[in-house]
Amino acid sequence: MTTETEIKRLETLKKFDILDTPPDGTYDHIVKLVAKLLNVPIAIVSLVDTDRIWFKSAFGLNVQQIPKEEGLCASAILSTDFYMVENALKDPRTHRNSLVTSEFGLKFYAAVPLTTSDCFNLGTLCVLDKKPRTLNETEQQILEDLAYVVIEQLELRLMARMAINSQNKMAYMITHDIRGAVCNIPALVDMIKEENGNPDEIEQLGEMIKYAANRSIQAVNSFLTYAKNLSVNIIYRFEPFNFSELTNRVISTNKVLASNKQQKIESSVQPNILVNGDKIRLSELIDNFLSNAIKYSPRGKNITVVLEKKGEKLILEVKDEGQGMTIEDMNNAFKRFSKLSATPTGNEESTGLGLWIAKEIAESHGGNVKVKSEGKDKGTVFTIELPIFENRK
């Protein structure tokens, strides 16, 4: 097995999140059934980790894991077929294995790899005996059939976890959307009161309230669509559109909120950059970074937004003169519910979800997000990279 293949196999094993989990009656019943049907003293569901072989379930053996050695499970996963050692003392594949040479005295070993739907062997369903023996074709088929049941159970468990995580993720996004939009409305209403004699300003603020309300409606509609489809993946509505115009609109909305803290948003937006994406989600992506800059910057500071096309990508940077980030902050910035060292400068609230949501949205569009800061009180630069429409396949 090449190093690259083994790395991918271990990544797949990690994705299943099964190592070091408590006993599970499903697998316990399977190994007990295997031992009975094949008349062997030991049956195991094993998972081959980096440097150990961990037992999800073991019948006839009171051990949770053993070191990873060649010859048994570590070798069986290199095969796509049934693997058998009739007499381990005489077999060159196993005669040096510690289970064979130690007091344990292993003589017989047979296994079927637990192969995922994307063709990675996570471990084995195996049987052991302390005396030489063999399995006939019928017994081999029994082991293969039950190995299929084991991997089917593992994949069903993974799908269930993914569905739950996806539902939670969607709920977090929708809650964050609605809260962000609704929380803006009281500040906008207060500003309308202050601009009582200025019809033009009142009209602009009214448009901002309308935009915030529409964001809430769109968020609710997204959730209802998602709930109706019950998809494992969050639903994105991809269509070509002008990202430059969207950026300008989000900047315009946030200028009103920034002015409430005597902050100034300066922008340089290259026109007519097109993307293929979900306009609502990408609007949220930009808004998360811009509202974050407003939230964590002191009064009277400047915020700079630059959008430009570089090769096959668009680069959007949001730079502030705020509290900056430590190295630890930058490492944790895009993690869900992360609490960073900076605190809102205007008593705003923070859910710890905005940057995580931004990362999810960017990656779902084939892009990424980055953060850079020279340290505390030295400002922060958030960067969004997305493929432009002309090059999206």
Of 140, 160, 180, the domain-final residue: 160
Residue-averaged pLDDT of the chain: 84
**pLDDT surpassing 70 at residue 52:** yes
Judgement on whether residues 103 and 201 belong to the same structural domain of the protein = no
Higher pLDDT, 207 or 393: 207
Looking at the structure, tell me whether residues 11 and 148 fall in a common domain.
Answer: yes
Does residue 40 sit in the same domain as residue 8?
A: yes
pLDDT tens-digit series, residues 341-368: 888 887 766 656 678 888 989 999 999 9
* Averaged pLDDT, 77-84: 92
Residue 66 CA to residue 48 CA, distance in Å, equals 10
Q: Does the pLDDT at position 21 exceed 70?
A: yes
pLDDT above 70: residue 372: yes
Name the domain boundary from 195, 230, 265.
230
SS3 letters for 330-357? HHHCCCCCCCCCCCCCCCCCCCCCHHHH
Whether the per-residue pLDDT at 156 is higher than 50: the answer is: yes
Q: What is the pLDDT at residue 228?
A: 45
Specify if 393 maps to a domain. Answer: no
Name beta bridge partners: 121.
Answer: 115
The answer to whether residue 272 sits within a structural domain is yes
Banded model confidence at residue 157, pLDDT cuts 50, 70, 90: confident
Counted domains in the chain: 3
The answer to whether residue 392 sits within a structural domain is no
Cα 145 from chain centroid? 32
Domain at 206, CATH number? 1.10.287
What's the Cα-to-Cα distance from 42 to each of 33, 34, 37, 102, 217, rounded to whole Å?
A: 11, 9, 12, 17, 59
What CATH number did the domain enclosing 74 receive? 3.30.450.40
| pLDDT band, residue 229 (cuts 50/70/90) | very low
Instruction: Tell me if 281 is assigned to some domain.
Output: yes
| Pair 17, 63 in one domain | yes
Say if 337 falls within a structural domain. Answer: yes
- Print burial letters for 221-254: b (CB count within 10 Å at least 16), e (below 16): ebbeebeeeeeeebeeeeeebebbebbbebbebb
Same domain, 301 and 373: yes
Q: Within a domain: residue 20?
A: yes
The distance in angstroms from the start CA to the end CA of the chain is 33
Q: Does the pLDDT value for residue 233 go beyond 70?
A: no
Does the pLDDT at position 174 exceed 70?
no
Both 141 and 196 in one domain: the answer is no
- Residue 329 sits in a domain whose CATH number is 3.30.565.10
Looking at the chain, list the stretches that DSSP marks H as alpha helix, in order from N- to C-terminal side: 3-16, 25-38, 73-76, 98-101, 137-194, 199-229, 243-259, 279-296, 327-332, 354-364
- Same domain for 316 and 188: no
* Residue after which a domain boundary falls, among 205, 230, 255: 230
What are 203's two structure tokens?
């009209």
Model confidence at 232, pLDDT cuts 50, 70, 90, reads very low
- Binning pLDDT at 50, 70 and 90, where does residue 10 land? very high
In a domain, 334, yes or no: yes
Residues 222 and 251 in one domain: no
User: Is the domain of 150 the same as that of 166?
Assistant: no
Q: How far apart are CA 41 and CA 39, in angstroms?
A: 7
Share of the chain above pLDDT 90, in %: 55
pLDDT tens sequence across 269-311: 999 999 999 988 898 899 889 988 998 899 999 999 999 999 9
User: 258 and 149 in one domain?
Assistant: no
Same domain as 373, residue 243: yes
What's the whole-number mean pLDDT along residues 148-155? 89
Residue 297 · residue 345 · CB < 8 Å: yes
Separation between Cα atoms, residue 11 and residue 278, nearest integer Å:
30
φ and ψ at 253, to 5 degrees?
Answer: -60, -45
Task: Residue 325: give the domain boundaries.
Answer: 239-387
Structure tokens at 322: 């705020």
Q: Are residues 253 and 379 in the same domain?
A: yes
